[in-house]
Amino acid sequence: MHQYKGKLIIHTGSMFSGKTSSLEKDMKRFVIAGYSTLAFKPTVDTRYDSSEIKTHDDTVLQAILVDTIDDIVKYVEEEKPAVIGIDEVQFLGGKVSDILKAVQDFLKDHITVILAGLDLDFEGQPFEILKELMPVSDYLYKHHAVCVSCGTDAWVSHRKIRAKERVVIGATREYEPLCRSCFLEEKEIEEDIVNKNQVVFDIK
């Protein structure tokens, strides 16, 4: 595992693609290899036990709840781990520039950083922090769920409920993985429904 010392490893993709499972497996490998590790997850993700990173297939990794990147910096300064993992990094609080700088500082200190997070929101727009971190990663893994509509590789997490907020925490009730084509078809259907429901006033 020495070849990963001071490297940035990113697991990204849509929901249900296995990115959190991959982070969990990476972290456990470092533990087995004798490295000191710390795992973190943002407090905004309250889907599972508050002290755990839990995958959709129910594997579990103990984690520390944090609000912002500053919280992680403090833990790292105190505990001095060799490896840190951050799940759902797109929900981590703090300026994008501050998160990017903190990660780069960790790498300069030869700390291995493993991140998992969504690359796109429910509208198919990039999350800013992944957009900045992906180009500077040493190892970048794009994971794919299966499109529930056609069975090909999924591209995005389509939101099934009517909510316009960018961040709505959920799982299979709220989201479904779709490929690009099926996502665009679904968006056209949704737009047609909205247009049909609009009331037009004829003012003379």
Q: What pLDDT is recorded for position 58?
A: 47
Judge whether 88 counts as a catalytic residue.
yes
Count CA within 13 A, CB hemisphere, residue 35.
25
The torsion angle over the Cα atoms of residues 184, 185, 190 and 194, rounded to 10 degrees, is 90
pLDDT, tens digit (0-9, with 9 covering 90-100), for 125-177? 999 999 999 999 999 999 999 999 999 999 999 988 776 676 676 566 688 99
Coil, helix or strand at residue 64: strand
Q: Which residues contact 98 (CB under 8 A, 6 or more apart)?
A: 69, 70
Q: What pLDDT is recorded for position 161?
A: 79
**Which one of 88, 128, 132, 185 is the catalytic residue?**
88
Please give the domain boundaries of the chain with CATH numbers for all domains: 2-144 (3.40.50.300)
Residues of the chain with pLDDT under 70: 45-60, 163-164, 166-167, 169-173, 192-204
Place of tokens 């990794």: 61
Q: What pLDDT is recorded for position 1?
A: 77
Q: What pLDDT is recorded for position 204?
A: 53
Q: What pLDDT is recorded for position 191?
A: 79
